[in-house]
Structure 1
Amino acid sequence: MRANRDMELPEDFWIPISLDTKNITSLSPFLVPQDHLGSSGLFYTMAAFMFVLFVVGTGINILTIGCTIQYKKLRSHLNYILVNLAIANLLVSCVGSSTACYSFGVKYFILGPLGCKVEGFLATLGGMVSLWSLAVIAFERWLVICKPLGNFIFKPDHAIACCAFTWVFALCAAVPPLCGWSRYIPEGLQCSCGPDWYTTNNKYNNESYVMFLFCFCFAVPFSTIVFCYGQLLIMLKMAAKAQAESASTQKAEREVTRMVVLMVMGFLVCWLPYTSFALWIVNNRGQTFDLRMATIPSCFSKASTVYNPVIYIIFNKQFRTCMLSMLGMGGGGDEESSTSQSVTEVSKVGPA
């Protein structure tokens, strides 16, 4: 009986478009395996990939939070945003990657429509917090190092406010699909859920939501990252030019440039696929495309739970030393360290 009720409401549950001219509306991703979208090998490969993301992403982000709790020298207010990033990554890993792993294993979204909304909302919320955290990290570094406000001192209250800012803005992006502006539906191979950015159902005003996300959750944070790191590089290059004879200054300038490139590339790898695909869909309504391609943006965004911690935390010398000590692989995590060492590498924008 329930299956019959579900089949009467395809617009609420699954994708009202075609794949290779074959209509898939009658094949609910909540009821039957989506074998028509790919081979069993493809689904199992994706399940294995999501399992790796879940294990590694969960482990590395829990380790980040655990190190911050254990070592006082990591509890700098400049590290608050890194912990905030770890919490957001943990949300995506524990909810998004684990759910996708299970669903790919059975080849359909077995948790049903309500589970789809919950998973889509929480994964989007964590992703948006992570996205805005990257922008806030860039802003913090620009503020602390370039000192555009002169003698302004970045205090713990400011760091907490920045963290709260990321959650407020993330809620502004994640809540609308629950209220009728777009919606959360299975995407790609129909084994994970996200905002509806590729169907032709005008009831949910998907086009306007996509443009909102592009401006609010890509253009603005990306512009912030590029501006802040650009100003930082200009300042460092001027310092390197003024101290051309200093080998340490030249080395620092090269290391920071490399880190900035990695940070910008990390942001683009995570969010450019979503942005590009969504904008293409909005501007090419009616064009046939392979739904399997819609899985790619989701994979890149979920993989950020691994590569963002590598870029922002493991490349951070102080965090790396404490992690190794916590794992019993080094003795550099001792509490008695000099005051100067208590300042996180975030303020240096790169490894020492």
Structure 2
Amino acid sequence: MKMRGYTSNEIPEDFWIPIALDTKNITSLSPYLVPQDHLGSTGLFYSLSAFMLFLSVAGTAINVLTIVCTIQYKKLRSHLNYILVNLAVANLIVSSMGSSTCFICFAFRYMILGPVGCKVEGFTATLGGMVSLWSLAVIAVERWLVVCKPLGNFSFQPNHAIGLCALTWVFALFAAVPPLVGWSRYIPEGMQCACGPDWYTTNNKFNNESFVMFLFCFCFAVPFTTIVFCYSQLLFAVKAVAKAQAESVSTQKAEREVTRMVVVMVLGFLVCYMPYASFALWVMNNRGQEFDLRLATIPSALSKASTVYNPVIYVLLNKQFRSCMKQMLGMSGAGDEESTSQSTTEVSKVEPA
């Protein structure tokens, strides 16, 4: 169902919704008052509610396990794993606050929590999402520093990881707080059952367009460029070693593993955040164009789904983390633990020639 927007002098204070061509009474469609059945079928709302319930349960469980596992096992308290825990905390905020809220609202088919609840959900989802996004960039920087050694004998220590993790929260607050204080605003988005910054209007009161550009440049382009640069340097270094040691089976295996890791991590980042960033820019640059609100819900859902597949990529594919989790859950024996404690990630062994 394609819709059009209404003029700037009609824009309500706490929401924006597309309206059908024959609709004159905007208030009658308020996402805080009535089910938004004009935007999609009941089955679609309930399907999205079930999907958000899955993200809430699975995301909360896997990220809580990551945090508890790190607390329980001292051998997991390395600088890289500190960053992974920071990522897990951010994911936990999104899954417990953002996804669970969306589950309730999709079940009722409107933003039943009201304008204040919308702002709380929008803020926590943005805060957790931005910490998660910047944590992925920090992981890339840590891998680059540890493996490629661009700073020579510089040794990446736990206090460096903790400092960078603190910086991710500072950057996230720069992105999440402005809509609460007048630079843009948090309103229902997509099918009006989740909240985020206002991509839709050109209302000069909120300066939405400048905020969208700020988010795209500072909160997407900068971390994405950082990730691509760091992982490309890592890949080049490993390929150089593999070329110099063409007869070494272990080196060739490490090269293949690193290549696969780089591709998976970059693609994971793009799946998380590219649709959301692209949608926001498209809406901003195509004011008045028709678009389908059902499709507009997809970027938000993909960004929330990162609370599940980010831990799979960054935590469960970590042999040491995976072994400790299995042991904590009673799924592995002492022999497995001993084997894993003696192993390290192949990429950490590779240094440029």
| TM exceeding 0.5 | yes
Residue by residue, what CA displacement relative to the aligned partner does 1:172-216 show, whole Å, maximum 9, x if unpaired?
010000011110000111111111112243321111111000100
* CA positional deviation for 1:155: 1.3
Q: What is the letter of the counterpart of residue 174 of structure 1?
A: A
SS at match of 1:204: coil
- The equivalent of 2:14 in structure 1 is 13
SS at match of 1:286: coil
Whole-angstrom distance in 2 between the partners of 1:233 and 1:49: 36
Distance 1:159 1:49, change over 3 A: same
Distance 1:179 1:333, change over 3 A: farther
Q: 41, 44, 51: which one pairs with 2:53?
A: 51
Point out where structure 2 has 5 or more consecutive residues left out of the alignment: 1-9
Q: Percent identity?
A: 74
In the TM superposition, 1:22-101 aligns within 5 A as 22=23, 25-26=26-27, 27-101=29-103
Distance 1:345 1:320, change over 3 A: farther
* CA positional deviation for 1:22: 4.7
Distance 1:17 1:33, change over 3 A: closer
Point out where structure 1 has 5 or more consecutive residues left out of the alignment: 1-8
* CA positional deviation for 1:251: 1.0
Whole-angstrom distance in 2 between the partners of 1:171 and 1:347: 32
Is the contact between residue 122 and residue 194 of structure 2 (CA under 8 Å) also seen in structure 1?
yes
* CA positional deviation for 1:14: 1.7
- The equivalent of 1:201 in structure 2 is 203
Residue by residue, what CA displacement relative to the aligned partner does 1:116-175 show, whole Å, maximum 9, x if unpaired?
101100110000000000000000000011000000011121111010010000000100
- 1:277 matched to 2:279: yes
SS at match of 2:196: strand
Q: What is the letter of the counterpart of residue 301 of structure 1?
A: S
* CA positional deviation for 1:24: 7.4
Q: What is the letter of the counterpart of residue 195 of structure 2?
A: C
Q: 295, 302, 305: which one pairs with 1:303?
A: 305
Distance 1:169 1:344, change over 3 A: farther
SS at match of 1:202: coil
Distance 1:300 1:22, change over 3 A: farther
Distance 1:192 1:82, change over 3 A: same
SS at match of 2:187: strand
The count of corresponding residues between Structure 1 and Structure 2 is 340
Is the contact between residue 323 and residue 340 of structure 2 (CA under 8 Å) also seen in structure 1?
no
Is the contact between residue 218 and residue 275 of structure 1 (CA under 8 Å) also seen in structure 2?
yes
Which one is further off, 12-21 or 237-246? 12-21
Q: What TM-score do the two structures reach when normalised by structure 1?
A: 0.92
- The equivalent of 2:323 in structure 1 is 321
Is the contact between residue 49 and residue 102 of structure 2 (CA under 8 Å) also seen in structure 1?
yes
Is the contact between residue 326 and residue 333 of structure 1 (CA under 8 Å) also seen in structure 2?
no
Whole-angstrom distance in 2 between the partners of 1:323 and 1:78: 17
Whole-angstrom distance in 2 between the partners of 1:24 and 1:300: 33
* CA positional deviation for 1:319: 0.5
- The equivalent of 1:221 in structure 2 is 223
Q: What is the letter of the counterpart of residue 15 of structure 1?
A: W
Residue by residue, what CA displacement relative to the aligned partner does 1:29-50 show, whole Å, maximum 9, x if unpaired?
1111111111100000000000
Residue by residue, what CA displacement relative to the aligned partner does 1:25-73 show, whole Å, maximum 9, x if unpaired?
3211111111111110000000000011011101100000111011111
- The equivalent of 2:134 in structure 1 is 132
Q: What is the letter of the counterpart of residue 56 of structure 1?
A: A
Distance 1:172 1:157, change over 3 A: same
Whole-angstrom distance in 1 between the partners of 2:38 and 2:280: 23
Q: 190, 193, 204: which one pairs with 1:191?
A: 193
Whole-angstrom distance in 2 between the partners of 1:305 and 1:87: 10
Q: What TM-score do the two structures reach when normalised by structure 2?
A: 0.91
SS at match of 1:329: coil
Whole-angstrom distance in 1 between the partners of 2:115 and 2:282: 27
In the TM superposition, 1:241-260 aligns within 5 A as 241-260=243-262
Distance 1:214 1:21, change over 3 A: farther
Whole-angstrom distance in 2 between the partners of 1:344 and 1:248: 12
Is the contact between residue 46 and residue 101 of structure 1 (CA under 8 Å) also seen in structure 2?
yes
Whole-angstrom distance in 1 between the partners of 2:74 and 2:173: 31
Distance 1:334 1:246, change over 3 A: closer
- The equivalent of 1:3 in structure 2 is none
Root-mean-square deviation over aligned CA pairs? 2.1
Q: What is the letter of the counterpart of residue 15 of structure 2?
A: W
Q: What is the letter of the counterpart of residue 266 of structure 1?
A: G
Q: What is the letter of the counterpart of residue 232 of structure 2?
A: G
SS at match of 2:13: helix
Is the contact between residue 323 and residue 336 of structure 2 (CA under 8 Å) also seen in structure 1?
no
